[in-house]
Amino acid sequence: MTTKKINIMLLSIIVIFSGQLQAACNTSDFTESTPTSSFTTNGDGTATDLQTGLMWMRCAIGQTWDVGLTDCSTGSPIGYDWEEAHDEAEASIFATYTDWRLPNIKELSSIVEVACNTPALNEDIFLNLSGSSTYGTWRSSTFNHLDPGSQLVINIQAGIITAIDTDENGFVRLVRGGDL
Give the helix/strand (H/E) hosting 85: helix 82-91
Most confident of 18-22, 36-40, 132-136: 36-40
- Work out the burial of residue 67: count CB atoms within 10 Å of its CB; fewer than 13 is exposed, 13-18 middle, 19 or more buried: exposed
Above 90 in pLDDT, residue 134? Answer: no
Region at 75 (left for phi over 0; alpha for psi -120 to 50; beta for the rest)? left
pLDDT in tens, 43-79: 999 999 999 999 999 999 999 999 888 888 888 888 9
72 closest CA partner among 128, 111, 112, 18: 128
Beta strands in 96-136 (DSSP E): 116-117
Domain residue limits, the chain: 3-176
Q: What is the pLDDT of residue 35?
A: 95
DSSP 3-39: HHHHHHHHHHHHHHHT-S---EE-TTTS--SS-GGGE
Mean pLDDT of the chain: 83
Of 56, 59, 87, the closest CA to residue 75 belongs to 59
